[in-house]
Amino acid sequence: MATEVFPVIDVSCLDDFTPKSAEITRACQDWGFFILTGYGIPQATIDRMFALNQGFCALSPSEKSKFPIDQRQIGYDLKHSKSGAHESMVFGGVKGEVQDTHGLNTYWDAAKREEIETFKAQCHELSHKLLRTFAQEFGLPSTYFSEAHSDASNPPNVLRMLHYPKFETRPANDIPRIKAHTDWGSITFVFPRSGGLEVETPSGEWLEVPLVPGGVVVNIGDALHLWSGRALKSTLHRISFDRLPIDQDRWSIAYFVNANNDSRLEVLQKQADGTHAPQPGGIVLTAGEYYDARMYGSRLNDAERNWVSKATNLDYYEGLLKKVQQVGVADHSVVADKLVAV
């Protein structure tokens, strides 16, 4: 078998990525992942984000936990469960909401919150450049996808400053660094500082994503996978203790791009080859419905069954999970053994 080479695409000197649309789309069709270089966000800005992340994570556990993650996806998130073992500071919320959130840990003063908002805006602009390339490649109006991805609408785009800590002893066998999963939204950007991220290759093997200086890892999420009639892949990825041993830390910054709540993930009808089949059973979910289903499934998977027991609209969530089960996504654990009696 020929060696599989992870796609690396350079867009230096291109304010508009559409000249690279065929190459970008092919990488997303074959791999669902690629590394983008020359994309325009200054390295000094990215370095600053890592410095903020490391400074925050150096605080005491009690100080970090003063503002736990809330429904807006803003706050500190500590996980030690079957989904993974890591901590993160999460900056979701619609445009301007982080800046206006007073009472975060005192570390996140107004100046730092403004830096976060600026970086989120830069990532949002980058996502629109990619969304326009997909629209062009599918023969759609250039703003077809970008108009459905506003940073002022819910579900919010989410910036996660991640830290995978070192351990003195390995956690229980059912606690991974982060389990194999797909992402929920349209596009994810991962700015890595160290290795360890593995993706499932087109041949079904696990491959560690190479570290490319100045590169950002880009991957397709489930929403864009469904929207494109599965033309664009939403690929399983993970971080294992084999690739990231217990005596090593890992730092990364991820930006999750989500479509507006009311965006219908309807198979595109104007694709040039016309071969992409409709969703099974003619089911069409909105981006908001799919997001809600994944959020509910993750709470069942982790230690949040208390939230589930208190929810008053379980019929809604159960119905969405059943629809997702019928539609099907690469991450089968989203729905397997998750449906609960209501």
3-state secondary structure 82-104: CCEEEEEEEECCCCCCCCCCCCC
d(CA 9, CA 133): 13
List, in order of start, the domains of the chain with CATH numbers. 8-266 (2.60.120.330)
Per-residue pLDDT reduced to its tens digit, 262-297: 999 887 754 445 555 556 667 788 999 998 888 777
181 within 8 A of 331, measured Cβ to Cβ: yes
33 within 8 A of 199, measured Cβ to Cβ: yes
Residues 6+ apart with CB under 8 A from 6: 31, 33, 34, 35, 199, 207, 209, 210
Per-residue pLDDT reduced to its tens digit, 164-210: 888 777 767 666 778 888 998 999 999 999 888 999 999 999 999 99
- E-assigned strand segments in 64-174: 74-81, 84-91, 158-164
Please list the pLDDT of the chain residue by residue as tens digits (342 residues): 457 899 999 999 899 999 999 999 999 999 999 999 999 999 999 999 999 999 999 999 999 999 898 888 899 998 766 656 789 999 999 999 999 998 787 899 999 999 999 999 999 999 999 999 999 998 899 999 999 999 888 888 999 999 988 877 776 766 677 888 899 899 999 999 988 899 999 999 999 999 999 999 999 999 999 999 889 999 999 988 777 777 888 999 999 999 999 999 887 754 445 555 556 667 788 999 998 888 777 766 554 545 555 556 778 888 888 888 777 765 545 444 443 322
d(CA 49, CA 123): 12
Q: What is the CA radius of gyration of the chain?
A: 19
Residues 6+ apart with CB under 8 A from 274: none
Our CA dihedral for 185, 188, 194, 199, rounded to 10 degrees, sits at: 70
Sign of CA dihedral 158, 338, 327, 317: negative
d(CA 101, CA 94): 11
According to DSSP, residue 148 is labeled: G
Nearest in space to 130 (alpha carbons), one of 190, 188, 178, 70: 188
Helix (H, G, I), strand (E, B) or coil at 300: helix
Measured distance between the N- and C-terminal CA atoms of the chain, rounded to whole angstroms = 49
